[in-house]
Amino acid sequence: MTVTVARPGLLTTVQDLGRPGHAHLGVPRSGALDRPAHRLANRLVGNPESAAALETTLLGCAVRVERAVTVAVTGAPCPVRVNGRAAAWAAPVRLPAGALLEVGPATRGVRSYLAFAGGIAVAPVLGSRSTDLLSGLGPSPLAAGDALPLGEPSGASGGADVVPCSGPPEVVVLPLVLGPRDDWFTARSLASLARADYRVSPTSNRIGLRLDGPGLERAREGELPSEGMVLGAVQVPPSGRPVIFLADHPTTGGYPVVGVVPATALPAAAQAAPGTPVRFSPVARPVTGG
């Protein structure tokens, strides 16, 4: 069974939970940026949470199914239509053979997730079906006319009377564990992190959430040798404006990292549309020793 892309939207990619464990090869984890929304979509159609689904960006997408199949759309709230008629969001929907499913533009947030019973069965690369925009691994972003194979459904639809699936917040507040290079910035600029009002830049993507706002003042000149980068690292380039690394981030970098946003807070960052206010809530890194 296949689904055919009728309208790819701004950027629609295949995503599962990513390919962790390959950073030493220069390959980031990749995978769905809003993992809770991705997991929920799979649960609603009876898939294991690791199944591959579609991640849309801002404008949604449209696909036509070859045979009858159950689907679910979660993540950024958006209109859902089947053959031109309104259908449910964040709930299992049964599509008849030949149906056109339209995932409309996000009304809030950025990324919606479209799961099919059986999951998208493109060939895995390094154990994952995810599209990685940085390294180019996995399937290319979708184009009109692309045909995607589906796997065999493995479980019953996980419908529920109430699904806890709220929309993205109007103001994103992100915890920030300071370090490892917070000593590269002045005490005044570190203190300002808790008060500064940043906004999401339109140049943001799956690699990083770029922020517009006050620059952080350096206490040291020069640059670091390249060192390892982790998911959620807040790197500060020469402009002084922070960049929060998301799933397709580079695995090394030479700009200082002022802190790290915990992975549990990153789905909110992934759903922050351009212009969304962002604030940091810095906390000291834990003291270790023996």
Tell whether pTM > 0.85: yes
**pLDDT at residue 160 is higher than 60:** no
CB contact at 8 A, 20 and 29: yes
Task: Give the pLDDT confidence score for residue 223 in this predicted structure.
Answer: 82
In the structure encoding, which two tokens stand for residue 162, read together?
Answer: 């109430």
Written as six digits, the tokens of 79 are: 């209109």
CATH 2.40.100.10 residue window(s) in the chain: 172-283
Q: Given pLDDT bands bounded at 50, 70 and 90, which one contains residue 107?
A: very high
CATH of segment(s) 172-283: 2.40.100.10
Check pLDDT > 70 for residue 144. yes
| Residue 279 backbone dihedrals phi, psi, to 5 degrees | -130, 150
Strands 277-283 and 172-178: parallel
Helices (H), the chain: 35-44, 187-193, 266-270
Mean pLDDT of the 218-244 span: 94
Question: Taking the alpha carbons of 70, 79, 102, 171 in that order, is the dihedral positive or negative?
Answer: negative
Omega prior to 92 cis, within 30 of 0:
no
Task: Give CA–CA dist 80/47, Å, rounded.
Answer: 20
Q: Is the pLDDT of residue 289 over 60?
A: no
Which amino acid appears at position 170 of this protein? E
pLDDT of residue 288: 58
